[in-house]
Amino acid sequence: MHELNEEICDKEIRLIGSEGEQLGIMSSAEALKIADEQGLDLVKISPQAQPPVCKLMNYGKFRFEQGKREKEARKNQHVVEIKEIRMSPSIDIGDFNTKLKNAQKFIAEGNRVKVSVRFRGREMAHTDLGRALLARFAEQCAEVATLDKAAKLEGRNMSMFLSPKAGK
């Protein structure tokens, strides 16, 4: 946060005018007087400099512009989410294709996708079916996604991560 007007208690400061012109080194009282005459605020912009640098500006307008710039920056950034697709080893082809389409849609939006196969009961004896299913899924997504983490069994779930290709 910036120090304003009376908060500035340094003996000497370097003053910069509202148009960016150097007004020289002076006491903070003199600088405050100049700021009052021009109807502007005295704002310390570089406290670690020797002597500290202060500028004459309309602080309210400055804060507003700064807020506007930050809002614009936030609007342009995309947060990458991890979307999850769950399947069972005995999934049918129609359901498989639906899940595949959803995964491709998520990847096209720029999100990472976690594809997991849940094993229940006796299915644990056939984890190779799940691994084959995930391999087929990754193969079908190959043109839009790259395999981040290969299929790995954790408890009763086997999962892999797909992320969008860099060129997209």
Each residue's pLDDT tens digit, 18-31? 888 998 899 888 98
Same domain membership, residue 67 and residue 97: no
CATH of the domain at 26: 3.10.20.80
Number of domains in the chain: 2
The dihedral built from the CA positions of residue 57, 63, 68 and 71, taken in this order, carries a sign that is: positive
Same domain membership, residue 153 and residue 91: yes
CATH of the domain at 99: 3.30.110.10
Of 31, 48, 74, the last residue of a domain is 74
What value does the mean pLDDT of the chain take? 89
The dihedral built from the CA positions of residue 3, 40, 20 and 67, taken in this order, carries a sign that is: positive
Q: What is the pTM of this model?
A: 0.55
Taking a C-beta distance cutoff of 8 angstroms, is the pair 100, 140 a contact? yes
At 89-102, the pLDDT tens digits run 999 999 999 999 99
Same domain membership, residue 57 and residue 100: no
